[in-house]
Chains A and B, each alone.
Chain A
Amino acid sequence: QQQVKQSPQSLIVQKGGISIINCAYENTAFDYFPWYQQFPGKGPALLIAIRPDVSEKKEGRFTISFNKSAKQFSLHIMDSQPGDSATYFCAASKSGGGADGLTFGKGTHLIIQP
């Protein structure tokens, strides 16, 4: 049973456009929702994370939107750049993100075309 569903599997966006990746979760005990960026052969790097007490969080060009009632959250990358081309994973965990392991979505392969 996949507890975090991520879509789309792959995404192509023109430079300067907005990249949007969506995730849905099932376990209502989750209380920490991070997004990670991963380049080939490297470990994942935390981009931005949100807790369910807020509906939106913005850091630079990255924004998370969170809908608790729908159990969905999304990542928006504004002004997408070729350097943003990578695989993006949403994740979720209990206990605020430090004491429990993360459940990851299947990933989205993002390509930004120049």
Chain B
Amino acid sequence: GAVVSQHPSRVICKSGTSVKIECRSLDFQATTMFWYRQFPKKSLMLMATSNEGSKATYEQGVEKDKFLINHASLTLSTLTVTSAHPEDSSFYICSPSTGVEQFFGPGTRLTVL
């Protein structure tokens, strides 16, 4: 159980374009979705928290207009990086939670040229 998928697994885009990352919980319902970012050889940093049907709550220093989060259903959440720049290149990992336990997706490697 507790299978989480992310799509795409890796994406390369040009500076100024937008990229959408999908996260699905395949065998459980996620009342809460966490999004983390991990720079190379660094730790995971919480970016934002969203509850199904509600607006996301962003951590200090994370631009809400740049990282758009949609949590429209209990099994799907999306993270859109708008007007991406090279400094946004990172490993983005979703973590859907049942409210009791959170599980991690396989991650999406974003490279912005």
Q: Does chain A have a CB within 8 A of B77?
A: no
Within 8 A of B (CB), among A63-114: 89, 96-107
Q: How many residues of B contact A (CB 8 A)?
A: 26
Contact B107 A97, beta carbon cutoff 8 Å: no
Q: Residue B93 contacts which of A43, A105, A106 (CB distance < 8 angstroms)?
A: A43
Q: Residue B97 contacts which of A89, A98, A103 (CB distance < 8 angstroms)?
A: A98
User: Given the complex, which residues of B lie within 8 Å of A98, measured CB to CB?
Assistant: 32, 97-102
**Do A45 and B107 form a contact, CB below 8 Å, given A101-B34, A104-B43?**
no
Contact A89 B44, beta carbon cutoff 8 Å: yes
Q: How many residues of A contact B (CB 8 A)?
A: 20
> A-B contact count, CB below 8 Å?
55
Q: Does chain A have a CB within 8 A of B104?
A: yes
**A65 shortest CB reach to chain B, Å:** 22
Contact A99 B32, beta carbon cutoff 8 Å: yes
Q: Is the interface of A mostly helix, strand, loop or mixed?
A: loop
CA distance A4 to B48 in the complex (A): 19
Q: Knowing that A41-B107, A42-B106 touch, tell me 13 more A-B residue pairs with CB under 8 angstroms.
A: A36-B104, A43-B104, A44-B93, A89-B43, A96-B100, A97-B102, A98-B99, A99-B32, A99-B97, A102-B102, A104-B43, A105-B43, A107-B42
Which B residues are within 8 Å of any A CB, using their own CB?
A: 4, 6, 32, 34, 36, 42-46, 49, 59, 93, 95, 97-107, 109
Which A residues are within 8 Å of any B CB, using their own CB?
A: 36, 41-46, 89, 96-107
